[in-house]
Structure 1
Amino acid sequence: MSEVSTKALVRATDLAKTFDVSAPWLNRVLEGQPRMLLKAVDGVSFEIEKGKTLALVGESGCGKSTVARLLVGLYEPTRGGFEFDGEDAHAAFKTPEGRKLRRRIQMIFQDPYASLNPRWTVEDIIAEPLREHEILSDEPAIKERVGELLKSVGLSPLDMVKFPHQFSGGQRQRISIARALATHPEFLVCDEPTSALDVSVQAQVLNIMKDLQRQQGLTYLFISHNLAVVRHVSDQVGVMYLGRLVELADKHTLFDTPRHPYTRMLLDAIPKMHDTGKARTPVSGEVPNPLNPPSGCAFHPRCPHANARCSSERPKIQTLAGVKVACHAVEEGRI
């Protein structure tokens, strides 16, 4: 077993999720429609070491958020599995002991406006996991813990009597982080936690998350489509396209020497300070319909390096010079 796998806190193996998006049975019979299956995630594997951050990036609809929901048990995998600290997490989620595992894995959602109950005070919102998991039952102790959690995310204990509508977007996301930290989790799944916020506020929230990671040894899966954010927070980066991982590398390798043509396309589209006046390369083409994906490599209709093999044979993810990449052109040395 490799050194990395012995230290991995989180290990996803061939994780897949297929949704049945068919029309109702009667419509299908009367109109002769086939069943429609959407492969939202199709065989994703990765590991995250304790105290590290893996970022998943890609265009909208590539399956990033589905991976996040699979890891916290909101979805059941169609295939594959997820181990947490050496334990089969999806099997454990179904048992009474699964509550202990749920304490250790928490999620921060994308929209701070939708993820907080508008009728509850901040105290009730943050105290809910403490009561639900029976971590504390004494009301004064709960109040004290809520105050500590608010302080840890840069808010005041005096804020606990307020309601969510009395806070800005950035402050609401801090409340969401405080709620996620209430159970002393080890692994946080962050589904685009800053995408609904202004850029200056994004930086504040990201810095809080980095500080908390250092202080508490937290492990993050960070979902984002913003590569500048990813560069700031991640140790490793996985690039997803149409439900599959096409490249997985440590941050510096991926940003300095991207291998997969899709990764290169995403990085070329980022504005760079020293390239003022230089035309940026736009991300060309459209993401294909996931209900009817292209044959072979799903990226081949948009790829400048595609050949006949790319359109007929699906590339397997391989480790080349320490980088995991699924691309025939890279494998054959054409790029």
Structure 2
Amino acid sequence: MSALVQAHDLAKVFDVSPPWLNRVIERKPRALLHAVDGVSFSIEKGKTLALVGESGCGKSTVARLLVGLYAPTRGGLTFDGQDAQAAFKASEGRAGSEGAALRRRIQMIFQDPYASLNPRWVVEDIIAEPLLEHGLIHDREGRRTRVGELLQSVGLSPLDMAKYPHQFSGGQRQRISIARALATQPDFLVCDEPTSALDVSVQAQVLNIMKTLQRERGLTYLFISHNLAVVRHVSDEVGVMYLGRLVELADKQSLFAEPRHPYTRMLLDAIPKMHDTGRARTPVQGEVPNPLNPPTGCSFNPRCPHANARCRAERPLMQKIGGVTVACHAVEEGRI
């Protein structure tokens, strides 16, 4: 099956320097933050790729690059054989263009259902906004019918369209966010930690709705999370990120059964397991380095028990080793 989404060497650099005069007075150079640094992956149609990693590793920046909220500093994105970045750029301020059609097919579900819904709008207006923006349904009665159908598809009632966001629980608000994302009948949904702000039982309900919608509509997901239990439930393939780079990319079964990269092993070892009660777990060692001043060579080397001189000097490249794509000198050399 061909890939619907392909990212090639995606990178995003933010200039976080103090103002010019401050830099001159204090004699400081410009400060550049490499939030995403050469990430490549592909997602097949109807499948889910999950990106995991600690806070600040660049997961959400990847999400914003994929939906066109950020322009990449380097690299590109292909969607259904089309150069997505060029289409996004061409569509700025132009309705009905090729890029606008692409934006209809790519939608995003944000992390915080409390912040991503306008508190002054009723649910009908919130969900109908993409329909109006893209000129999909013009008459009011048609919009009301479509909003009612979307609410039912996420387990809510059409009667809810007259309510305001504050009248719903967190899980119900996230369902409204999902309904809004589905309004344009997209092919690809970028889900930026959509359940992290919810209770565990509510998380399960929302995830099950998303799985059902994927099955019924053939949706493709990029699912961003730091919760490995959630990732195990929803994903087909998992990418592990560390300090703006992918360090391991494998199918779900391989990654959870036999993680290769030391960082992946560290993340999985930190999960409490029912049958390991009483066994001392290896804690996640060390702190994430300052992204403004990352270590030379492999960015994980200060925390890695297998690091040697090569790891401290040479940046490992992603390569296929034993059916898994991994960036690690120790794995490449057979030391682990």
Shorter-chain TM range is over 0.9
Q: What corresponds to 1:27 in structure 2? A: 22
2:282 counterpart SS class: coil
Match of 1:266 in 2: 267
Structure 1: which 5+ runs fail to align? none
CA RMSD, aligned part only?
0.6
1:17 is matched with which residue? Answer: 12
Partner of 1:252: 253
1:227-285 per-residue CA deviation (whole Å, 9 max, x = no partner) reads 00000000000000000000000000000000000000000000111112222221111
Paired with 2:282 and 2:199, the residues of 1 have a C-alpha distance of 25
Q: Which residue of 2 aligns with 1:215?
A: 216
Deviations 1:183-220 (A, max 9, x none): 00000000000000000000000000000000000000
Shift of 1:97: 2.0
Q: Which residue of structure 1 aligns with residue 105 of structure 2? A: 104
1:174 maps to 175
Matches within 5 A, 1:169-318: 169-318=170-319
Read off the aligned partner of 1:231 and give its amino acid letter. R
Q: Distance in 1 between matches of 2:176 and 2:285?
A: 38
Of the three residues 71, 81, 88, the one matched with 1:76 is: 71
The AA in structure 1 aligned to 2:14 is F
In structure 2, C-alpha distance between the alignment counterparts of 1:129 and 1:91, rounded to whole Å: 22
Instruction: Work out which of the residue numbers 41, 60, 84 in structure 2 matches 1:65.
Output: 60
3-state SS of 1:278 partner = coil
Indicate the SS of the match to 1:94. helix
Match of 2:161 in 1: 160
| Structure 2 gap segments, 5+ residues each | 91-96
One-letter amino acid of the counterpart of residue 62, structure 1: C
Percent identity (aligned) = 82
Q: Distance in 2 between matches of 1:301 and 1:170?
A: 40
Q: 1 CA distance for matches of 2:190 and 2:298?
A: 29
| In 2, Cα distance between equivalents of 1:161 and 1:283 | 48
* Further displaced range: 209-218 or 316-325: 316-325
Residue 49 of structure 1 pairs with residue 49 of structure 2:
no
Alignment size in residue pairs: 330
Question: Residue 331 of structure 1 corresponds to which residue in structure 2?
Answer: 332
Name the aligned partner's letter for residue 302 of structure 2: P
Structure 1 CA distance for aligned equivalents of residues 265 and 240 of structure 2? 11
Deviates more, 1:269-278 or 1:150-159: 269-278
Which segments of structure 1 move beyond 6 Å, counting only runs of 4 or more? Answer: none
Pairs within 5 Å for 1:114-129: 114-129=115-130
Q: What amino acid is the match of 1:280? A: R
Secondary structure of 2:54's aligned partner: coil
Letter in 1 for 2:77: F
* Partner residue, 2:86: 91
| Distance of 1:280 and 1:316 partners within structure 2 | 30
Distance in 1 (CA, whole Å) between partners of 2:207 and 2:130 is 23
TM-score (ref. length: structure 2): 0.98
Q: Does the residue aligned with 2:209 lie in a helix, a strand or coil?
A: helix
Specify the alignment match of 2:31 in structure 1: 36
State the TM-score, normalizing by the size of structure 1.
Answer: 0.98
Deviation at 1:31, TM superposition (A): 1.1
What secondary structure sits across from 1:184 in the alignment? coil
For residues 200 and 61 of structure 1, the distance between their equivalents in structure 2, rounded to whole angstroms, comes to: 26
